[in-house]
Amino acid sequence: MNTVLPDSGAPWTVNLEERVAALEIVLLRRTYVLPWTQFLYAEGGDDEVRIVFAAHDIVVRGFGLALLLADVAAQRMAVLREPTSADRFRSNGGRMIRELIVQKVEQDEAHG
């Protein structure tokens, strides 16, 4: 597994050799593990990426996020980490996550 962490350039971990079974989202106070089998789509650009699973929406804001979108599209991202307060102001290699939001999709929203 190839690890890419905030100190080395990006706050996510990818596996370059094969697809991973699930995406682990590590927030400061909670961790989610979402299986890639429930992945629906992703959209965005360099400053914001939205990753949609069957029951959760993930919004990632920052800059240099085009690489993150490519890793999501290939389903090779294993871990996505929320930055600490200190990390939000540090720029590493032109890529930075400033905000990571996980929202549960309500059933009424999903069907209507």
Determine contact, residues 95/62, Cβ cutoff 8 Å.
Answer: yes
Which has the higher per-residue pLDDT, 45 or 85? Answer: 45
Domain ranges of the chain: 6-106
Range among 44-48, 61-65, 108-112 rated most confident: 44-48
Q: Evaluate if residue 2 carries a pLDDT over 60.
A: no
> What predicted TM-score, i.e. pTM, was given to this entire model?
0.79
In the Cβ-directed half-sphere of 110, how many Cα atoms lie within 13 Å?
12
Dihedral pair phi/psi, residue 3, rounded to 5°: -100, 130
Which has the higher per-residue pLDDT, 105 or 110? Answer: 105
CA–CA dist 69, 75 (Å, integer): 10
* Mean pLDDT of all residues in 38-50: 96
Q: Evaluate if residue 24 carries a pLDDT over 60.
A: yes
In the Cβ-directed half-sphere of 4, how many Cα atoms lie within 13 Å?
20
Predicted local confidence at residue 5, as pLDDT: 38
